[in-house]
Amino acid sequence: MKKIVIIGGGFAGVNLAKRLGGKKEFHITVVDRNNYNFFPPLLYQVATGYLETSNISYPFRRLFRSGKNISFHMGEFEKLIAPENKIILSTGDLPYDYLVFATGAETNYFGMENVKKSALPMKTINDALELRNHLLQKMEEATRTKDESERKKLLTTVIAGGGPTGVEISGMLAEMKKNVLPRDYPEISGHGYESHIYLIDAQDKVLAPMSKKSQSDTFNALTKLGVEIKFGLQVKDYIDDVVSFANGETIETKTLVWAAGVTASVFNGIPEENYGRGRRLIVNEFNEVKGLQNVFAIGDTCLQTTDKQFPNGHPQLAQVAIQQGQQLAKNFIAVESGKTRRPFSYFDKGSMAIIGWNKAVVDIPKPLLHFKGFIAWFIWIFVHLVSLINYRNRIRTLYNWTSAYYSKDQTLRLIIRPKQ
């Protein structure tokens, strides 16, 4: 049996492991720092109290229970010792025949230490819970304060980054302001207090990788919902409740949500020249890491420039990660059965973003189609439901969405802080 160690149980790692499940030529060990898989595209719904964490996450040991040749090891990657075909984890050492990095990406603060210290990222389940607690805590404080300028800061949210995450969070917050605030916070609602939801971006568009139609539809829908979109603003600092921008402008707020960039991780034991743009590991058409033997990288953490349609590398999207995981599994099987490996080529199924209830945008590349409004929202709901890891999570999510849709409300707005 070939020992395959996969570091990271996200879209890429899980799809690779599942495809190799039951193949008697391999034994697979999935390593992850968490004991659960989760679905990043719906994190913001946990942060805004529309979904529970268990709707979008699932324990690895339960997931791999039926795969006799798959084991799970909880631990953090620490070092690669390539000459010995071994990795060091925070929880022990593991030997491998094939090693696969599927570690995704992490939040990029572009070296701004104060932003890193005080802004709220949106990358993990912990981040989503932290943001949910923070938003609800600030609302409670706003109900109590008599200081007008303090109240304005508490009721102002700045979301940095006009990509899908920034758009989706700002849309959801605007829906909450419209539907939940008047019912749950009578001390604030209807008193004419100043409050803002700013979505800011350094570029002059939202949803930059999507079509011009999607960009303008999203801009119009968010503006109509009350989101104040500001372009050409690059965050420089965030200190003492003041976000300052490169052009000298400032916004006072207690809440800066950071959805402005990601970067891959640097791994101890992999030489500097093996990393490309965004610190992504440079791989060839078979996802082999440059200069290393039997070491592979898939998903957000790799940079593959061999796909003719994506000479600068693939976008860091779930579908790329899923397809790379599946293709690598086929290639491992091909090698074991003496067949030829196939180079990876990404099949773009399209992109989408939700803006609010009954509002979304969808771009499909072939044939070129654009949807907006209710139909796009319906497509978004369907695609996200079927993409969840199993039936249990799909049913729970559908239930929560249905009840939230009809009541325009949800009861998950709980401040739960584990003891520090």
Ligand X SMILES: Cc1cc2nc3c(=O)[nH]c(=O)nc-3n(C[C@H](O)[C@H](O)[C@H](O)COP(=O)(O)OP(=O)(O)OC[C@H]3O[C@@H](n4cnc5c(N)ncnc54)[C@H](O)[C@@H]3O)c2cc1C
Residues that bind ligand X (CB under 6 A): 7-13, 31-34, 40-41, 43, 76-77, 102-104, 122-123, 164-165, 265, 299-301, 316-319, 321
Using an 8 Å Cβ cutoff, are 54 and 139 in contact? no
- Smallest distance, Å, CB 258 to ligand X? 11
Instruction: Count Cβ atoms below 10 Å from residue 38 Cβ, excluding itself.
Output: 19
* 269-to-80, 196, 265, 278, 287 alpha-carbon distances in Å: 5, 47, 12, 18, 18
Catalytic residue among 168, 249, 272, 288: 168
Q: Toward ligand X, which CB reaches closer, 301 or 397?
A: 301
Angle at 91 between CA 86 and CA 92, to 5 degrees: 35
Instruction: Count Cβ atoms below 10 Å from residue 391 Cβ, excluding itself.
Output: 8
Give the residue at shortest CB distance from ligand X.
10
Q: Toward ligand X, which CB reaches closer, 164 or 276?
A: 164
- Smallest distance, Å, CB 147 to ligand X? 33
The whole-angstrom separation of Cα 87 and Cα 96 is 8
Structure tokens at 395: 């049913």
Residue with token string 């953490």: 301
The whole-angstrom separation of Cα 201 and Cα 27 is 46
Q: Toward ligand X, which CB reaches closer, 151 or 351?
A: 351
Q: Toward ligand X, which CB reaches closer, 8 or 153?
A: 8
- Smallest distance, Å, CB 75 to ligand X? 7
- Smallest distance, Å, CB 253 to ligand X? 20
Instruction: Count Cβ atoms below 10 Å from residue 204 Cβ, excluding itself.
Output: 10
**Residue 234, SS3?**
coil
Angle at 70 between CA 69 and CA 76, to 5 degrees: 150
Structure tokens at 292: 């290393």
Structure tokens at 173: 């917050």
DSSP string over 160-223: E--SHHHHHHHHHHHHHHHHTHHHH-TTTTTTT---EEEEEESSS-SSTTS-HHHHHHHHHHHH
- Smallest distance, Å, CB 344 to ligand X? 14
Q: Toward ligand X, which CB reaches closer, 41 or 49?
A: 41
Q: Toward ligand X, which CB reaches closer, 120 or 321?
A: 321
Asked about 25 being catalytic, the answer comes back as no
- Smallest distance, Å, CB 242 to ligand X? 25
Q: Please identify every residue annotated as catalytic.
A: 168
